[in-house]
Amino acid sequence: MNFQSKLPDVSTTIFTVMSALAARHGAINLSQGYPNFEVDQHLKDLVNKYVQQGQNQYAPMTGVPVLRQAISRKKKLLYHVSVDPDDEITITNGATEAIYSAISAFISPGDEVIIFEPAYDSYIPSILVNGGRPISIRLKSPEFKINWNEVKDKITSRTKMIMINTPHNPTGSVLSDEDLLSLEKIVEDSDILILSDEVYQHLIYDGLEHQSILLYPELFRRSMVIMSFGKTFHATGWRIGYVVAPRSITSEIRKVHQYNTFSINRPLQHALAEYLEKPAHYLDLPKFYQQKRDLFSDAISSSKFELIPSLGTYFILAYYRKISDLSDQEFARWMTIEKGVAVIPISSFYSDDTDEHIIRFCFAKTDELLAEAAELINQVE
């Protein structure tokens, strides 16, 4: 068959590649981001309860009302905002579908979307497949801060959207109040939309507070805020996320969502709605993960890797320049096959050949597994 690929430069996502390599070689998998510990038994019991209760047919296209209401209450508690559960919240098949549906709803051929690199690997393909043009801005290591003057310079009459991500995957950097105010100033007289990927909203450390777009009414009116239960409740395999956006934006996103996935797993939505009633189920997360970040960082502090401080997410970056001259892709393979620890090469988050000899570790693992991994990492020279 003769056809032209719409995404000729896209290959299988690095997370799938590295997890498969880790499995094939029996390596400890600190590559793809997911916890190796269990979902709370209470949450599992709730799933069973709703399956037994007969919540097994299609959920409403927008998500089950009790879950949207629980999310709305949570936004009130955390960010002191009123979000309409009927018209401003849509449950999606994980954040990846939310990102795709949001981009697809608004990006037409020739539209420019400003993104920051390193960027999560689904962003660019989602823009390209809809005919959009990703406009990349580099975040410089090791701080990966946004230079807002550069953003201002990149805006043209074709700029349709700016995508931000805080806490940031893969760098672990977070946006401050100042950052959000700069963004607000830059877009104030424009029709530029903001897509804010906040899936790691609860994974933020050292007493920092998550700066959600929801805290900034002037930004929220032009935004879609994407969040996820996978990271929050250790259930990445459930694939349940959601988009919070003003009514007019939500209704456009739903036009795509309804023909993309139609609706999302019903019993799981009911279980999450009930589980959300106890805020401790998510408020304890910063402490829980900060302890893991510190345990892992301390355990490998005498290794030849140079760690870059992580303020959020369950990832931490490290330079390996004292160990090897290999490209980061080769180095990640070597670590997995020869050293028994799978990691993610950061060049996979760049659209060009940027390679700063940095790899990403995921520390969402039991303390025992982190200690075991650290022992192997400390032997790498």
What residues make contact with ligand GLN under the rule CB under 6 A? 13, 15, 32-33, 169
Nearest approach, Cβ of 314 to ligand GLN (angstroms)? 9
Task: Quote the tokens at residue 86.
Answer: 């009927």
Nearest approach, Cβ of 248 to ligand GLN (angstroms)? 29
Nearest approach, Cβ of 208 to ligand GLN (angstroms)? 20
Pick the closer one to ligand GLN by CB: 29 or 297. Answer: 29
Q: Say if residues 217 and 70 touch (Cβ distance below 8 Å).
A: no
Pick the closer one to ligand GLN by CB: 93 or 130. Answer: 93
d(CA 218, CA 333): 45
Backbone angles phi, psi at 77, to 5 degrees: -60, -45
Nearest approach, Cβ of 323 to ligand GLN (angstroms)? 22
Nearest approach, Cβ of 33 to ligand GLN (angstroms)? 3
Nearest approach, Cβ of 13 to ligand GLN (angstroms)? 6
Query: Tokens 């530029």 appear where?
Result: 192
Pick the closer one to ligand GLN by CB: 136 or 348. Answer: 348
Pick the closer one to ligand GLN by CB: 104 or 182. Answer: 104
Pick the closer one to ligand GLN by CB: 93 or 211. Answer: 93
Nearest approach, Cβ of 169 to ligand GLN (angstroms)? 5
Query: Tokens 């000899």 appear where?
Result: 357
Pick the closer one to ligand GLN by CB: 203 or 245. Answer: 203
Residue-wise over 162-190: b if at least 16 C-beta within 10 A, else e?
bbbbbbbbbbbbbbeeebbebbbebbeee
d(CA 78, CA 214): 10
Nearest approach, Cβ of 344 to ligand GLN (angstroms)? 7
278-286 long-range Cβ contacts below 8 angstroms, 24+ apart: 279/74, 279/77, 281/40, 281/233, 282/74, 282/202, 282/232, 282/233, 283/202, 285/202, 285/203, 285/232, 286/202, 286/203, 286/204, 286/205
Pick the closer one to ligand GLN by CB: 15 or 334. Answer: 15
Pick the closer one to ligand GLN by CB: 20 or 181. Answer: 20
CA triplet 100, 103, 107: central angle to 5 degrees? 140
Pick the closer one to ligand GLN by CB: 115 or 219. Answer: 115
Nearest approach, Cβ of 270 to ligand GLN (angstroms)? 25
Point out the residue whose Cβ comes nearest to ligand GLN: 33
Pick the closer one to ligand GLN by CB: 331 or 361. Answer: 361
Residue-wise over 300-312: b if at least 16 C-beta within 10 A, else e?
beebbbebbebbb
Nearest approach, Cβ of 362 to ligand GLN (angstroms)? 6
d(CA 304, CA 370): 17
